[in-house]
């Protein structure tokens, strides 16, 4: 982002206070930030705070820009490399959709020919309302990048999707716009998270996979320009910028989704897919009936199927979570599954679900031992290696 100019429009929502942190983060990355504060946004942050952090005047009034007969709002709308709306309220997005220009922010958005990123934040019912859903779809169809909101508790006391994403995720979406794109034109399929294998209508078998590493890899590939299909098991994680997400529950559903996503240039099978499913009881198993009998059935082997597929991706990468003989088991897995690479990690002890990983990259050339790294850095390194391999 060094030397890039970002026009930041701060909407009127409780999440506006995070715009201050976003300004600081963008400037750390080398960007120049020009703030535009809406009347609603001024109820939550002050022009002085924005101005001090941005080291730039804060624009609030349409008419003051045009004093002296100039066309200041046109010049401002086209002076930036990127326009970021954060938070993007339901009202702001509705006006963007219909072309209403009744203040400085909406006039800039209507007049600009600069790429726009909108970062929504609102009550869960507002986010899921049919009007907002339609508006978001329209904006995306017009080329606006709409960052998926997070899910969680809200200031209003409700819970659900609609929270402003963490600033790190917003910066990642902006970096995705500006960053180098060696994987443009490439399609990547990534699986992530666990699978849930139903036992009866209320119970299931699963594992401790958090999905964090798979989501990080999907985001890192998208940041390099790949078209990413992220097939996710049951996890409560925000969709990484630039990824198309397909949610599944069982191993069989994941296998179908992977097949439907082909053809692809690279497949990164990070998901901890259950090896076995259960013949599902149509009714809840009752304790009074004694110890239940669970009849296990083998699930599809997604990685092995991909490795032998007629429309096999050019690069097939599997993951091996092991509790013993990590490297030996990974070497064997690469051979039996017909994978090109295996990323192996030792999960003995209470390590699953953490934010760091210690992995070994097993290829035809041998084994690379990587140090313990944050999962985001593991993802970045792997994405870079994939870009080099596909170059």
Of 134, 156, 296, 328, the catalytic one is: 156
If one counts every other C-beta atom within 10 angstroms of the C-beta of residue 202, the result is 9
Q: What distance in Å separates the CA atoms of residue 261 and residue 258, rounded to the nearest whole number?
A: 5
Q: Are the beta carbons of 117 and 40 closer than 8 angstroms?
A: no
Question: How many C-beta neighbours within 10 Å does residue 196 have?
Answer: 20
Q: How far is CA 185 from the centre of its chain?
A: 19
Encoded tokens for 307: 């490795």
- The number of CA neighbours under 13 Å toward the Cβ of 27 is 17
Answer yes or no: 156 catalytic.
Answer: yes
Strand pairing category for 116-120 and 145-146: parallel
Please tell me the distance from the alpha carbon of residue 309 to that of residue 303, in angstroms, as a whole number: 10
Q: Give the chain's radius of gyration (CA, Å).
A: 24
Q: How many CA atoms lie within 13 A of 379 on its CB side?
A: 24
Q: Which residues are catalytic?
A: 156
């Amino acid at each position: 982002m060094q030397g890039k100019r970002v026009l930041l429009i701060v909407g009127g929502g409780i999440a506006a206070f995070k715009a201050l942190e976003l300004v600081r983060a963008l400037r750390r990355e080398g960007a120049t930030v020009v703030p535009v504060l809406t009347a609603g946004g001024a109820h939550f942050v002050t022009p002085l705070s924005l101005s001090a952090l941005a080291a730039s005047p804060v624009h609030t009034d349409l008419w003051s820009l045009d004093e002296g007969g100039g066309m200041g709002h046109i010049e401002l709308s086209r002076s930036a490399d990127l326009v970021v709306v954060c938070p993007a309220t339901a009202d702001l997005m509705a006006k963007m959709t219909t072309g209403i220009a009744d203040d400085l922010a909406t006039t800039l958005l209507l007049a600009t020919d600069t790429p726009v990123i909108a970062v929504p934040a609102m009550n869960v019912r507002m986010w899921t309302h049919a009007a907002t859903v339609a508006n978001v779809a329209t904006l995306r169809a017009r080329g606006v990048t709409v960052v998926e909101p997070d899910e969680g508790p809200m200031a209003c006391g409700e819970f659900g999707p609609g929270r402003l994403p963490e600033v790190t995720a917003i910066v990642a979406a902006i970096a995705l716009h500006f960053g180098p794109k060696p994987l443009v034109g490439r399609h990547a399929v990534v699986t992530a998270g666990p699978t849930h294998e139903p036992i009866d209508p209320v119970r299931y078998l699963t594992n401790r996979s958090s999905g964090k590493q798979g989501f990080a890899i999907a985001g890192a590939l998208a940041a390099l320009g790949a078209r990413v299909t992220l097939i996710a098991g049951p996890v409560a994680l925000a969709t990484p910028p630039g990824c198309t997400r397909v949610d599944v529950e069982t191993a069989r559903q994941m296998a179908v989704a992977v097949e439907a996503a082909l053809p692809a240039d690279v497949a990164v099978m990070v998901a901890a897919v259950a090896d076995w499913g259960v013949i599902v009881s149509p009714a809840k198993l009752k304790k009074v009936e004694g110890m239940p009998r669970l009849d296990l059935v083998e699930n599809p082997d997604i990685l092995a199927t991909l490795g032998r597929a007629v429309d096999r991706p050019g690069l097939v990468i599997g993951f091996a979570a092991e509790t013993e003989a990590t490297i030996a088991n990974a070497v064997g897995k690469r051979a039996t599954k017909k994978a090109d690479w295996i990323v192996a990690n030792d999960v003995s002890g209470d390590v699953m679900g953490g934010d760091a990983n210690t992995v070994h990259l097993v290829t035809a050339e041998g084994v690379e031992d990587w140090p313990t790294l944050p999962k985001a850095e593991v993802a970045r390194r792997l994405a870079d290696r994939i870009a080099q391999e596909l170059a």
